[in-house]
């Protein structure tokens, strides 16, 4: 067996070297694949599920001596095999056959680049220097970038970008049994996030706002829920003077986080929004036409959905308008719960989506609604005549009940006047 790759060797290789004779890529970031000259060597063997699971494990702990008992306990913790060592020996035999086949497919039998050996009661998957493991290159490139920062920031930025491009998702992403993979995935995710934010910091110091936006855009595919990443993106937009795009992204982000995670905007996000609004207010270059363009509503029919903070402001506006015009304003609330009384069921998101669609299509364009939490949505309705609230309530209750019956949940609708003339109405 040939010598293993030394630290730093992979960095010195050019990208074209990966396509030279007998140089094999082992892809682990985003899934497992073994490629030779751009072609997958294991994609057509997806039916060998248990063998490929063993291959994942051994690649993760490559070039290390592993006891059979440890492999069994970590890979199949809940499997009640009569003879687990025999099961492992069978999978090892099949994996050796697979390795032999893919090594032969590369035409490198004279200098095998991967071998599964057993010695003194241990198994060891030996991976030679002809292999380029993306996870190794990823960490080495980041280390090289960190060491280069003081001397050449531009080179460090380039290295960080090269490293981040390798991270295409969680380490060995895909179904595996046991918890052995989780700590490794967490490690590489931490390394990725640390490098990502260090790159963003260097770009910010260089006022490279376009590059920040491009970098964040790529990272959103990996980390769509990270608020700190979105804040970097929003800050770069505002630093470029593109406040309209920043407002649009803030609106998208708050709706996305509420829809996907059921969470409200954080204090940091709300603080950014206030600063953004203040910046717009203080700008002397924004004329009335641009303000109108940024504020005008879209042409979609139906009610307006907003976040809770915006809903609160609109309530204050409508109360003041009602005092002046005499038109009644009602605060409504829909509460959804399971038939057993539980307020957090598996269908919560499905029910929320259906109720959102129902409200958008059933209420008027002047009405407003906002999700207060995962199971409650608030309504703000202004009417010409307070008697019409019963018609609105009966119509919404009927459509709400259709959803409740289909999804096997309970739904309660009630209205409370924001002016004190009328008592609570429950449907």
Exposed (0-12), middle (13-18) or buried (19+): which is 5, by Cβ within 10 Å?
A: buried
User: For position 19, what pLDDT does the model report?
Assistant: 46
User: At a CB cut-off of 8 Å and minimum separation 6, what does 107 contact?
Assistant: 21, 22
Q: Per-block average pLDDT, block size 10, for the chain (427 residues)?
A: 41 45 87 90 82 92 92 81 84 91 81 85 89 94 95 95 94 82 94 96 94 93 91 93 87 81 82 83 56 53 77 83 78 79 56 87 84 87 77 88 87 82 53
The pTM of this model reads 0.64
User: For position 338, what pLDDT does the model report?
Assistant: 73
User: For position 134, what pLDDT does the model report?
Assistant: 94
User: For position 291, what pLDDT does the model report?
Assistant: 53
Q: Which fold has domain 1-206?
A: Arc Repressor Mutant, subunit A (1.10.10)
Question: So what's the architecture of 209-296 in CATH?
Answer: Alpha Horseshoe (1.25)
pLDDT tens-place string over residues 76-128: 877 777 788 888 899 999 999 999 888 888 887 667 788 899 988 899 999 88
Say how far apart CA 102 and CA 401 lie, in whole Å.
Answer: 59
Where does CATH 3.30.70.270 sit in the chain?
Answer: 304-426
Domain 304-426: which CATH number of 3.30.70.270, 2.30.110.10, 1.10.490.10, 3.50.50.60: 3.30.70.270
Say how far apart CA 368 and CA 314 lie, in whole Å.
Answer: 8
């Amino acid at each position: 067996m040939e010598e293993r790759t030394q630290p730093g060797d992979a960095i010195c290789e050019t990208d074209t070297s990966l396509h030279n004779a007998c140089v094999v890529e082992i892809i682990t970031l985003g899934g497992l694949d073994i490629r030779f000259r751009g072609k997958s060597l294991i994609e057509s063997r997806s039916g060998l599920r248990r063998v490929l699971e063993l291959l994942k494990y051994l690649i993760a702990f490559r070039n290390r001596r592993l006891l059979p008992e440890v492999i069994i306990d970590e890979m199949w913790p809940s499997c009640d095999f009569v003879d687990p060592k025999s099961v492992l020996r069978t999978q090892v035999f099949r994996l050796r056959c697979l390795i032999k086949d893919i090594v032969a497919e590369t035409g490198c039998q004279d200098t095998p680049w991967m071998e599964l050996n057993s010695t003194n009661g241990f198994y060891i998957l030996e991976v030679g220097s002809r292999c380029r493991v993306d996870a190794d290159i990823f960490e080495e490139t980041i280390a090289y970038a960190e060491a280069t920062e003081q001397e050449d920031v531009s080179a460090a930025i380039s290295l960080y970008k090269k490293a981040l491009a390798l991270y295409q998702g969680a380490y060995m992403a895909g179904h595996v049994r046991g918890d052995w993979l989780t700590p490794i995935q967490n490690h590489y995710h931490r390394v990725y996030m640390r490098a990502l934010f260090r790159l963003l910091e260097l770009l910010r110091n260089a006022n490279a706002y376009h590059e920040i936006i491009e970098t964040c855009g790529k990272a959103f595919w990996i980390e769509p829920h990270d608020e700190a990443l979105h804040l970097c993106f929003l800050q770069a937009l505002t630093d470029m003077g593109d406040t309209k795009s920043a407002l649009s992204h803030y609106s998208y982000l708050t709706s996305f986080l509420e829809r996907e995670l059921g969470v409200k905007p954080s204090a940091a996000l709300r603080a950014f929004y206030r600063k953004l609004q203040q910046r717009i207010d203080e700008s002397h270059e924004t004329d009335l036409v641009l303000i109108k363009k940024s504020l005008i509503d879209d042409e979609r029919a139906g009610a307006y959905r907003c976040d809770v903070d915006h809903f609160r402001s609109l309530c204050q506006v409508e109360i003041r308008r009602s005092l002046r015009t005499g038109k009644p304003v009602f605060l409504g609330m829909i509460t959804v719960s399971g038939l057993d009384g539980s307020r957090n069921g598996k269908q919560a998101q499905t029910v929320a989506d259906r109720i959102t669609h129902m409200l958008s299509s059933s209420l008027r364009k002047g009405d407003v609604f906002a999700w207060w939490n995962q199971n409650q949505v608030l309504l703000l309705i202004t009417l010409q005549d307070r008697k019409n609230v019963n018609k609105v309530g009966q119509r919404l209750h009927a459509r709400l009940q259709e959803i409740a019956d289909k999804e096997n949940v309970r739904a309660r609708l009630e209205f409370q006047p924001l002016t004190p003339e009328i008592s609570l109405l429950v449907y």
